Amino acid sequence: MAASKPEYLINDSKYSFLKELGLQETNLGVFDGTWKGSGKVVQSICPSNGKVIAEVKQGDVSDYESCVQSSTSAWNVWADLPAPKRGEIVRQIGDALRSKLIPLGKLVSIEMGKILPEGIGEVQEYVDICDYAVGLSRTLAGAIYPSERPGHVLLEKWNPLGLIGVISAFNFPIAVYGWNSAVAMVCGDTILWKGAETTPLVSVATTKIVANVLQNNGLPGAVAALCCGGADIGKAMAADKRIKLLSFTGSTHVGQQVGVDVQKRFGKHLLELGGNNAIIVADDADLNMVVQATLFACVGTAGQRCTSTRRLIFHENVYNEVLGRLTQAYKQVVNRIGDALDDSTLIGPLHSKQSLEKYKETVAEIQKQGGKIEFGGKVLERPGYFVEPTIVTGLKHNNPLVHNECFAPIVYVLKAESVPEAISCNNEVPQGLSSSIFTQNIGNIFEWIGPKGSDCGIVNVNIPTSGAEIGGAFGGEKATGGGRESGSDAWKQYMRRSTITINHSKDLPLAQGIKFE
């Protein structure tokens, strides 16, 4: 007997905003210029209540193939547009996103589980990067270098790569795509996106908005193609020579394999992988700022940001005071755990049942190894995937649990005798994404940002580890993968560099004065 259909949230009047995004009970999850989907049907689950929002028909191998072919041929049209014209299309995409800011932000909240201001903030981040990319479209500058040969000109020029792939993680279901696609589009690339299997509705709704803009301008929709799917589609992208750059955001474990597969075919990759971010508190720090900043960085997004704080390294002189004040602050926010869409909620759910299991396993292992749960440690008995934010003491700084990224609101509190000892503790983990120090001492600051300071990609002073701005390059070192996205010169990764020497004389002098006569 066929299983009865669940009651989809999309049909509940509380979620009517989903229809404004063109979503239905069953949605096609592949876009290659037309919508299709011949693969598995997946249900999108709302982590705030465990109910099915709606379902999506993913892509299979043949859908993937048609996406690659359509997007490759769309490139022939797209790459011919002057960069400022491509910028104008991205400007229109930013405007289209602005007009859907609230419904799309709400969708991010109900599908991923982050609270509404963060859901809206994520869409806003895509809007902001569109604005940034519009400016960039007029400043993708090359260079002219002095040639050592008379009658010669030495130039550097940047050209688009072609088709690029974007594989994104569940925790930033739209912003990561935005960072990559807005910049890649002005650079002249076309994009094939595969989002996380558990956030397919955000992928579909976002692609509909982008596709509308492209098609209203008479451009092929496959400039921004989508193939919803799981590891099978991701693996096909990693192995596919036609994908010139693969931008992968996700766990270190999966990203390492993706990096190897892309390297095997001499493709380019951009890896944005796991973090294990620490805040150091020196004994001269402003402790009011510390408590406020630490609270947001540890419990915000229920600990599911790649930049969430996982380790707190307190100077021994302030250890007891900061731990005491932080525990008090946790007691206050724990009453504000709830449905991601509710105005009063500060901490939403974990994203999935799997995340909840991982939290439970980690808490059990912490206790087995002699760690002390100073606060939290429990799963909440209610529908959805809710846990208490958790503070752990008593584990050594080099315990393997402390070196591992558990993607949940668990923070390990460690003690250091000095700032140099705290810095070495910050640097000893495999990952190298984000890091912060709270201090008012200028010597500490320059130690921290110098050659023997933090070895992370993001090095903050008197602000927490999370909440990066788009203007800087975002990414991390070591097991975080080394990639950089968003601002600064990250655009160069989406282009290929040509070093061009033009001889406008009648002679053929060789470089380095070599004579070959």
Which chain residues interact with ligand NAD by CB under 6 A? Answer: 167-172, 194, 196-197, 230-231, 234-235, 238, 249-251, 254, 257-258, 272-275, 306, 405, 407, 433, 476, 480
214 φ, ψ to 5°? -60, -50
Q: Which is nearer to ligand NAD, 238 or 366 (CB)?
A: 238
Residue 21 CA to residue 205 CA, distance in Å, equals: 6
Q: Which is nearer to ligand NAD, 189 or 197 (CB)?
A: 197
**Pair of tokens at residue 210:** 């982008």
Tell me how far CA of residue 57 lies from CA of 63, 66, 67, 121, 403, in angstroms.
Answer: 11, 16, 15, 28, 38
- For residues 246 and 165, is the Cβ–Cβ distance under 8 A? yes
Helices 319-333 & 287-299 angle (0-180, nearest 10): 50
State in angstroms the smallest separation of the CB of 76 from ligand NAD: 27
Q: Which of 306, 406, 425, 456 is catalytic?
A: 306
Q: Which is nearer to ligand NAD, 435 or 439 (CB)?
A: 435
Residue 494 CA to residue 87 CA, distance in Å, equals: 15
Q: Which is nearer to ligand NAD, 53 or 433 (CB)?
A: 433
269 pairs with which residues across the strands? Answer: 246
State in angstroms the smallest separation of the CB of 296 from ligand NAD: 17
Q: Which is nearer to ligand NAD, 480 or 493 (CB)?
A: 480
State in angstroms the smallest separation of the CB of 45 from ligand NAD: 14
Active site residue 130: no
State in angstroms the smallest separation of the CB of 250 from ligand NAD: 3
Residue 445 CA to residue 144 CA, distance in Å, equals: 37
State in angstroms the smallest separation of the CB of 514 from ligand NAD: 47
Tell me how far CA of residue 407 lies from CA of 63, 146, 204, 445, in angstroms.
Answer: 32, 51, 25, 29
Q: Which H/E stretch holds residue 72? A: helix 61-78
State in angstroms the smallest separation of the CB of 325 from ligand NAD: 28
Residue 337, Cα to own-chain centre: how many angstroms?
24
Q: Give the position of tokens 């903030």.
A: 121
Residue 143 CA to residue 499 CA, distance in Å, equals: 9
State in angstroms the smallest separation of the CB of 291 from ligand NAD: 25
- For residues 295 and 333, is the Cβ–Cβ distance under 8 A? yes
Instruction: Return the half-sphere exposure (C-beta side, CA atoms, 13 A cut-off) of residue 360.
Output: 10
Q: Which is nearer to ligand NAD, 140 or 201 (CB)?
A: 201
Residue number closest to ligand NAD, CB atom: 234
Determine what percent of the chain falls in helix, strand and coil, rounding each to the nearest 5. Answer: 40, 20, 40
Q: Which of 197, 272, 374, 405 is catalytic?
A: 272
Q: Which is nearer to ligand NAD, 103 or 349 (CB)?
A: 349
**CA nearest neighbour of 432 among 476, 472, 484:** 476
- For residues 152 and 501, is the Cβ–Cβ distance under 8 A? yes
Catalytic residues: 272, 306
